Amino acid sequence: MLILELETTAYTAEQFPSLDVPQVALAGRSNVGKSSLINALAGRKKLAKISSTPGKTRSLNFYRAAGDGFYLVDLPGYGYAKRSKTERGQWAALMDVYFQKSTGLQAVVVLLDSRLPPQKLDLELISFLQRESIPLIAALTKADKCKNKDRSRVQRQWKELLSPSAPLILFSAKTGMGKQTLWAAIREAAGM
Ligand code: GDP
């Protein structure tokens, strides 16, 4: 069983741990299923908080993968409509500092809702990562909710937008679909 331990919760850049440790970050729109994915990877129910109210988490959570010594970094979800302009500005500023300082960052797992067509904010994040030459792993979440016949269409859509080297993984926290594949991709990206 994979062991993830929450080491640091950071609301400000001053609270970041040492960022030269190898790390893989997780990013996605609010409510995309990021906390559920972390819990599924760790095989625990309440490691990351699953919120019924979207848009709550504003911290960066640094989980240490025990045995491997790299961080899995849970970045705060973006695109929550009810957030104020000031809050969105604070989010963007904190992300900027994180990406600037994170010399150990090896890849970003971008979580994309398998039931939705590509969304503007997701595409912006993907372009940013491509510009910065940060390797990307795409996880298509809530795949259990996506009808069989729609799955290959969604995969095809994303394949056209992503670089051929980016793993594209159908994932479900509910059924465990894609869990092993995603974990293997994360470890490989982290250089383990
Ligand atoms: P976050 O805001 O990105 O951390 O999203 P959460 O993990 O809190 O999940 C948001 C909502 O989607 C919750 O109601 C979850 O129960 C639900 N959810 C997350 N992952 C899955 C999944 O794989 N399958 C299904 N059916 N629901 C999911």
- The domain spanning residue 65 has which CATH number? 3.40.50.300
User: Per the structure, how many domains does the chain have?
Assistant: 1
Instruction: Collapse the DSSP code of 88 into the 3-class scheme (helix H, G, I; strand E, B; otherwise coil) and give the result.
Output: helix
Closest ligand 1 atom number to CA of residue 56 = 2
Domain that holds residue 134: 4-189
Task: Determine if ligand 1 sits within 6 Å of the CB of residue 6.
Answer: no
Strands of 105-113's sheet, edge to edge? 4-10, 60-65, 70-74, 23-28, 105-113, 136-141, 168-170
CA distance 60 to 22: 16
Token pair belonging to 22: 């190898």
Average pLDDT, the chain: 91
**pLDDT tens column, 12-50:** 999 999 999 999 999 999 999 999 999 999 988 888 876
Instruction: Say if ligand 1 is within 6 A of residue 49 CB.
Output: no
> Residue 71: how many CA atoms within 13 Å on its side-chain side?
27
Report the residue among 30, 50, 72, 80 best suited for mutation to probe ligand 1: largest number of ligand atoms under 8 A from its CB: 50
ipTM score over 0.90, yes or no: yes
Q: How far, in Å, is the centroid of ligand 1 from the Cα of 20?
A: 31
- Contact between 61 and 6 under an 8 Å Cβ cutoff? The reply is yes
Which numbered atom of ligand 1 lies nearest the CA of 49? 8
How far apart (Å, rounded) are the C-alpha atoms in residues 113 and 145?
10
* Chain segment 60-110, per-residue pLDDT in tens: 999 999 888 899 999 999 887 777 888 888 888 999 999 999 999 999 999
Task: Give the model's pLDDT for residue 56.
Answer: 60
Angle between helix 34-42 and helix 179-189 axes, rounded to 10 deg: 90
Q: Where are the alpha helices (DSSP H) in the chain?
A: 34-42, 85-101, 120-131, 148-161, 179-189
Q: Does 120 score more than 80 pLDDT?
A: yes
